[in-house]
Chains A and B, each alone.
Chain A
Amino acid sequence: MAYLPNTPHLRAEMLSALGVESAEELIDRQVPGKLKFQGLLNLPAPLSEMELLEELERDAACNQPAGDMLNFLGAGVYDHFVPSAVQRIISRSEFYTSYTAYQPEASQGMLQATYEYQSLICALTGMDVANASNYDGATSLAEAAILCVSATGRRGIVLSGAVHPAYRKVVETYTKGLGSNIRTVPTPDGVTDPNTLGELLAEARSGEEPPAAVVIQHPNYFGCLEDVSAVAAKAHDAGALCVVCVNPISLGILVPPGSCGADVVVGEGQPLGSPMNYGGPLLGIFACREEHVRRMPGRIIGATTDAHGRRAYCMTLQTREQHIRRERATSNICTNEALVALAAAVYLSLMGKHGLRRVAELCLQKAHYAARRISELRGYKLAFSAPFFNEFTVETPVPASRIVSELSQEGILPGRDLSLDFAVGNNGQEVLKDARRPNFLLLVCVTERRTKAQIDRLVEALSRYQPDSG
């Protein structure tokens, strides 16, 4: 077998050194007979490498990847251009076959790259410190809420209704052990209204669960830009911390949350140089103000010196972590998303100051062109009036589900049918103050990969649906 280097002859030598007849004998001396599995596992017969490739090609043929379609789907995972150098670098097996740098002298490359990733994230978000990565934007957001609970000694969590619905679900699951009370700020206008938030905070403050965290997404799930400064001010007035979840590409053009009063900035890092991969692996960005550094979850890399006084790197503040602190750790995270963070570091280095700005501008211009064209169609209009970056919500003349299902058959993914997120339970009522409205909402995303001709094709396809066409 190709992955097992010991030959029968070598095995025999080893067994003889051990004075046993077989590996099974070694196992039988430890595993009680009654526990031993009889026979063979019910799994498919082995395949050679060639047969495996052929078999997987058949499976692959049953997929129609969004990356090859006319794709206007975003909603948390984005179809951006990835420069070839990114994949080349993360395919260096010195990187991808290594593990957590428990021995820093053996892992200087990964450690330095992660230190650079942390620095780049700080530059992008305007925050003081960043960790080495979390699993994804959703768990980063949940960890941020938990940081706020621990920093304030309070348990209330206030989430904007315009936070990604799946992220809200993850926060609900993650905070089950804290006994936290999660309140949702309704966002019928597509944005978090600071006054509505203020009222809710005042109510929460006088209640049994004073707020520890106010969480918004910017740009939010509907694509709209939030008034981060106003939200942060309301949060601080109520004695809570402000968590902002970002799309890192948008920070090529938007004022960073660090300049608007955010205490913790999290986000989904997949747009920074990683393919969509059916939604995983992703990259949880996590950055915060210096004063919270000892409450940060996960690995943190620090620069130091070696015995000769040369610059060197290692994991630091490990006394926060599970392998040292056990049940008193700030989080249970161990393996995180180091290789995806490396991809982000390479991507941000290649893009640099001018490239990231350019990508953000392309996204912005193309999305606004698409939004203009679509809103000119009879029966369509922008659902919200707030400014947006590269995603926007449109009201459709017929149920969005119908548009998505019909157009996907001709190779167009027109966007996310929001009834999937808001028409279940009382989500639509809670967030949009209207349980029926989400059926007619389509969330459209335009990245720099979409050309004018492709946008025009989407507009043409959408124009076939008219208010009276059912």
Chain B
Amino acid sequence: MLQPVTEPTIAELSAEGRVGVSLPRCDVPEAPLEELIPKEQIRTDLPLPEVSEPDVVRHFTRLSQRNVGIDTHFYPLGSCTMKYNPKVNEEIASWRAFSGLHPYQPEETVQGALRILQSLERFLCEIGGMDAASLQPAAGALGEFTGLLIIRAYHADRGESHRNLVLVPDSSHGTNPATAARCGYQVVKVASDERGRVDLGDLERHLSDHVAALMMTNPNTLGVFEDQIQEVCELAHSRGVQVYCDGANMNAVLGICRPGDMGFDVMHFNLHKTFSTPHGGGGPGSGPVAVKSHLEPYLPVPRLREEGGILRWNYNYPKSIGRVHPFYGNFAVALRAYCYIRQLGPEGLRSVSEDAVLNANYLLKLLVDGGADKGLELPYPAPCMHEFVLSAAEHKKATGVRTADIAKRLLDYGFHPPTVYFPLIVEEALMIEPTETVSKETLDAFAQALLTILDEDPGVVKNSPHTAPVSRVDEVKAARELNLRW
């Protein structure tokens, strides 16, 4: 088989004297550098590559061909909602009337942008059943951080600063406990019950007047709807505990149910998941936070306020937690999400969730029916919401093939692997989220590929991928022999 060649680094393409850009001549009278800045502050060596524009373009285009995206592959990465990214949103975000705005230009000159931000805040409140929102957090984890700081400020305001614990279910995203620790809280894990939901008994044991917050995801990371959520929230509230909703899984419930109606006090959205903005290879994302009215005074500043028909940034919120972004958040991401909501409307959003749930359940059925005798199991009973988690532990026992091997082998069949080994409570986990933007034909093909892999010669699967730009990457070596730059 023809092995694809390695792409050199851009530094390896460098040759002395090559340039990749043409710049204008200086049209002001030039002074000697030493007259402008002290000689000892002037650098004598700038070790950047010297490459021409064609070199750069070919290099990065080749790199792009060594990358898998939603536009090239079905990408059922659980918990990440890898849905199609509409091109019209990219088009609109590229307009200079948006991309050319400076955050400090007078508000009178950016009313179009501010209207959009204000509308998006309102849309998110409506979708989440919340009362007020801030678009400042630049990603979901920063949204979580903002939300917990709001809760912290709320308790402090009520003279309850002694609340130093945050409860997270054992199925939670890693960002939840990491964020709680960042806010100075101790993290306490709550067990899941046999149905994959939060164990009410265990929760009750942990609730006390030292608990500041309970962080939940609904549907949770198993794709299971926490059907006792209202009781959970009531129980928490009865002990003075605020309940945080990690909105990572909102794609399951648009127009179907709302965190605010379930009893959540504060939540974040991931615009790069639910609202179709591109994941960008790992960002930029956007993680707006929405709250119930009792938490509104603590939202980050500045906030939009209308004065005499003009929208302005207002800083006069004395109880605010402060800033989590130097300006107003990831505007260009918010703009795309706004466009998405405008294009879909209320019916469209509801269809998104219905199709996401239908696709997930259909794929789940194909895999459970076809995989039962191959060691593929569903640890928590169907139906699921927008995603589901399978365990390949039995398959591993029988064949020695691990979930990681199955994931790599899927690449040879033209599919991006699902999330693996998460949530932590499922052994050899495969977490699959197809999203609504994939057809039945693709789901059939994916199921067939996965089931075929379970029947393959274990040696072939364990040594996969065979057709990717590289074979199995040695991650252990990468950590042992650190090579982080040329």
User: Interface digits, B310-341 against A, CB 8 Å rule (1 contact, 0 not)?
Assistant: 00000100000111111111111100000101
Whole-angstrom CA separation of A305 from B65 in the bound complex = 19
Interface size on A, as a range, is 35 or more
Establish whether residues A36 and B349, one from each chain, have CB atoms under 8 Å apart when the complex forms: no
Q: How far is the CA of A10 from the CA of B95 in the complex (A)?
A: 38
- B28 to A53, Cβ gap below 8 A? no
Q: Is the CB of B37 within 8 A of A387?
A: yes
Chain B residue nearest in CB terms to A456: B28
A304 and B41 contacting across the interface, CB-CB below 8 Å: no
Q: Which of B127-178 contact A (CB under 8 A)?
A: 127, 129, 138-142, 144-145, 149, 152, 173-175, 177-178
Given A62-B115, A105-B470, A306-B474: A368 and B36 within 8 A (CB)?
Answer: yes
**A275 pairs with B100, CB closer than 8 A:** yes
On whether the beta carbons of A101 and B48 are closer than 8 Å, the reply is: no
Interface residues of A in 297-337 (CB under 8 A from B): 299-308, 310-319, 321-329, 331-337
Q: Are B472 and A27 in contact (CB under 8 A)?
A: no
Taking CB atoms, residues of chain B closer than 8 Å to A364 are 33, 36-37
**A13-B440 contact given A35-B229, A135-B138, A455-B28, CB 8 Å threshold:** yes
A37 touching B261 by the CB < 8 A rule?
Answer: yes
Contact indicator B284/A177 (Cβ below 8 Å)? no
Whether A329 contacts B69 by the Cβ 8 Å rule is no
Q: Is B370 an interface residue (CB 8 A)?
A: no
Provide the bound-state CA to CA distance between A111 and B458, in Å: 28
A406 CA / B312 CA spacing, docked (Å)? 18
* CB contact under 8 A between A354 and B144, given known A37-B257, A63-B109, A305-B474: no
| Contact between chains at A251 and B99 (CB < 8 Å) | no
Q: A429 interface residue, CB < 8 Å from B?
A: no
> Interface with A: B198-206, B288-296, B476-484, which one?
B476-484
* Complex Cα–Cα for A258 and B11 (A): 21
Encoded as 1 (CB less than 8 Å from any A CB) or 0, chain B from 249 to 269 comes to 000011111100110000000
| B-contact bits for A1-44, CB 8 A (1 contact / 0 none) | 11111100011011101100001101101111011110011111
Residue of A nearest to B129 (CB): A37
Indicate if B190 sits at the interface (CB-CB under 8 A). Answer: no
CA distance A329 to B178 in the complex (A): 6
Q: Which of B236-244, B275-283, B394-402, B449-457 contacts A (4 or more CB under 8 A)?
A: B275-283
Q: How far is the CB of B4 from chain A (nearest CB, A)?
A: 9
Pairwise interchain contact B227-A44, C-beta atoms closer than 8 A: no
Cβ-based interface call for B181 (8 A)? yes
B345 x A45 contact (CB < 8 A) = yes
| Distance between Cα atoms of A64 and B104 in the complex (Å) | 13
B92 located at the interface, meaning its Cβ lies under 8 Å from any Cβ of chain A in the complex: yes
Q: With an 8 A cutoff between CB atoms, is A358 at the interface?
A: yes
Known: A14-B358, A316-B475. A130 touches B485 (CB 8 A): yes
User: What's the Cα separation between A352 and B419 when bound, in Å?
Assistant: 38
Q: In the complex, are the beta carbons of A326 and B30 less than 8 A apart?
A: no
Contact of B229 with A42 in the complex, beta carbons under 8 Å = no
B178 contacts A332, CB within 8 Å? yes
Contacts A77-B327, A173-B324, A339-B284: A85 and B53 contacting too (C-beta < 8 A)? yes
Flag if A170 contacts B324 (CB, 8 Å).
yes
Let me know if B485 and A119 touch, CB within 8 A.
yes
Interfacial residues of chain A within 67-119, with CB under 8 A of chain B in the complex: 67-69, 71, 73, 75-77, 79, 81, 83, 85, 87-89, 91-110, 112-113, 115-116, 118-119
Interface centre among A79, A174, A312 (most CB of B within 10 A): A312
CB distance from A333 to the nearest CB of B (A): 6
Contact with A along B73-97 (1 / 0, CB 8 A): 1010100101111101011101111
Residue B304 interfacial (CB < 8 Å): no
Judge whether B108 is part of the interface by a CB distance below 8 angstroms.
yes
Instruction: Name the A residues within 8 Å of B343 (CB-CB).
Output: 46-49, 52
* Closest partner residue, chain B, to A299 (CB atom): B282
A63-B109, A314-B473 given; 9 more Cβ-contact pairs under 8 Å: A36-B256, A43-B123, A45-B345, A105-B465, A136-B326, A276-B103, A306-B472, A326-B178, A339-B280
Question: What are 30 A-B pairs with beta-carbon distances under 8 A?
Answer: A1-B351, A3-B83, A15-B358, A26-B358, A27-B354, A30-B219, A30-B227, A41-B127, A52-B88, A63-B97, A64-B110, A68-B96, A73-B104, A76-B104, A100-B281, A113-B60, A116-B9, A133-B283, A166-B326, A170-B323, A225-B37, A277-B330, A278-B110, A278-B327, A321-B174, A332-B175, A335-B285, A345-B60, A369-B29, A420-B104
Q: Which 5 A-B pairs have the closest CB atoms?
A: A67-B100, A279-B327, A46-B345, A279-B103, A177-B184
